[in-house]
Chain A
Amino acid sequence: AQSVTQLDSQVPVFEEAPVELRCNYSSSVSVYLFWYVQYPNQGLQLLLKYLSGSTLVKGINGFEAEFNKSQTSFHLRKPSVHISDTAEYFCAVSEVDTGRRALTFGSGTRLQVQP
């Protein structure tokens, strides 16, 4: 079984400032890692994913994340945020070897970008 912990429920930040959203996971098997974004009253959209290879993953809208196996973390970063980045962000994992592709989600981080 896996679990995902998003350490911050809310992150307020000023426009054009950098931001990091933290995610740690626990699993007894190898996992794939994902970040999803949810804009108000909408479904979830994939920002980026780590399957294998380079531990630095680039996604849409200027976001990137780094997989750190020793610290079991997958933190999301953006060097300069915009008002339009205001949304809720979810970190998620799925098992690699079992073929069970259902996602286990963290509780979410609400990013509030202020002018």
Chain B
Amino acid sequence: NAGVTQTPKFQVLKTGQSMTLQCAQDMNHNSMYWYRQDPGMGLRLIYYSASEGTTDKGEVPNGYNVSRLNKREFSLRLESAAPSQTSVYFCASSEVSEQFFGPGTRLTVL
């Protein structure tokens, strides 16, 4: 089992460019999440999906969109990247009480 996988691992964008971060899990979990990690702030929830076909906003959703493509995949899209979106992005999945995290995507917006 690969667990939770994320692509790409690193990305540099210019302000205004768009991109999609991909996430997939092979644990047959219903719930999936996107977090961002910034120094001194821990991880903050961007969006989550309790099940296939549903998505909900988290603490910091502005500037992002998500798609729960199927049970395995949950993507995060930045339509027009801004320097404030420079961060490390983590995807996670869970079934009952434990979340499993991917390795992260380090995004820099110039």
Contact = CB atoms under 8 A, between A and B. Distances in A.
A43 B90 contact: yes
A87 to B, nearest CB: 14
Contact of B58 (A45, A51, A94, A102): A102
A107 interface: yes
Contact of B42 (A43, A90, A94, A100): A90
26 contacts: A4-B42, A6-B42, A32-B97, A34-B98, A36-B101, A42-B104, A43-B101, A44-B92, A46-B99, A49-B97, A51-B97, A90-B42, A90-B43, A92-B43, A99-B50, A100-B50, A101-B31, A101-B50, A101-B94, A101-B99, A102-B48, A103-B99, A105-B42, A106-B42, A107-B40, A108-B42
A4 B59 CA distance: 14
Contacts of B42: 4, 6, 90, 105-108
Nearest to A1: B59
A103 B48 CA distance: 10
Contacts, number: 55
Interface residues of B, number: 23
Given A102-B48, A102-B58, A107 B41 contact: yes
Taking residues whose C-beta sits less than 8 angstroms from the other chain, chain A's interface range is 20 to 34
Nearest to A45: B101
Interface of A: 4, 6, 9, 32, 34, 36, 42-46, 49, 51, 90, 92, 94, 99-108
